[in-house]
Amino acid sequence: MSRRTHEPGLHPTRPAGPLQRGYFWLSARPLHILVFLTPVIIAAELGALGLGGDGIGAQLAAHRMLVRFFELFGVLGLHLPALALVIALIVQHVLSKDRWRIEPIVPAAMVVESAFLTGPLLILVLILQPGSPAAAALEGGPDFLSPKSGILLALGAGLYEEMLFRLVVITAMHFVAADLLRLPDTAAKVIAVLVSAVLFALHHDTTLPAMMGGGTDWRLFSFYFIAGVYFGVLFLARGLGIAVGVHACYDLLVLVIMPGFAGSE
């Protein structure tokens, strides 16, 4: 008996019934994801070019890793990750045989949903104690970023980190676990999410300052790991668009909104 599986974060291609045409179905479809992500992609590419100043391009480590990923296949280009994402979403839309029709309310509602789903990350910061480095980041963020730089960095990190750790890592690990190792689909997804979360945590600096003895700040590592699991679940359940939206909303809060309030006091 063959198992019917589909790529994580991508909904299976099938005719949509009347009950599937609502917001939650449309917002997970490639065309609306592309429309929702287009402003993010533009801002992220501007940041990658360093147009935001403050060395934004150098701080987008996930973007550099994606560029190097393409270089492994002999393909060079600063904008290849974004271009590949756009092409992949268009191809997926064509293959899904969905209509070329955009419901304007859907991308707007995706912004609202992304902001709402940022709440659990804020609760997680409080659970890890207000004195932790994660909470310190929430309260202030880097002092050297201008508002424009903070916006470009937040959107760029949200896009590129979700592309790398959710779209690439989860999809690749799901393929290995489900298709090569023949594990059940649910088990393959759990493994893929956990691996991506560990790599996401390792990607960030979780080292204690030298004055505090150095070593790993396990509270901060736990924050990134749990956040990585959360983003992975969002990616599987709601698609890439919402995962990027939530990630970007949190980074905007950390890098732009909270420092703006602190600076006005």
Reported as a single tens digit per residue, the pLDDT across 105-150 is: 999 999 999 999 999 999 998 888 644 544 444 444 455 567 888 8
Instruction: Give the residue with greater pLDDT, 209 vs 132.
Output: 209
Rounded to an integer, what distance in angstroms lies between the CA atom of residue 244 and that of residue 256? Answer: 17
Helix 61-71 vs helix 80-96: crossing angle, to nearest 10: 70
Lowest mean pLDDT among 75-89, 173-187, 206-220: 206-220
**Which pLDDT does position 139 carry in this prediction?**
42
Give the three-state DSSP class for 46. helix
Name the band, by pLDDT with cuts 50, 70 and 90, for residue 199: very high
Place of tokens 């980041």: 137
Name the band, by pLDDT with cuts 50, 70 and 90, for residue 68: confident
Q: What is the pLDDT of residues 6-15, one digit of tens each?
A: 555 555 444 4
**Which pLDDT does position 258 carry in this prediction?**
74
The distance between the two most distant Cα atoms of the chain, rounded to a whole number of Å, is 65
What is the arithmetic mean of pLDDT over 150-179?
Answer: 93
How many of the other CB atoms lie within 10 Å of CB of 22? 11
What is the arithmetic mean of pLDDT over 75-85?
Answer: 79
Place of tokens 């449309």: 26
Rounded to an integer, what distance in angstroms lies between the CA atom of residue 166 and that of residue 147? Answer: 27
Rounded to an integer, what distance in angstroms lies between the CA atom of residue 23 and that of residue 97? Answer: 18
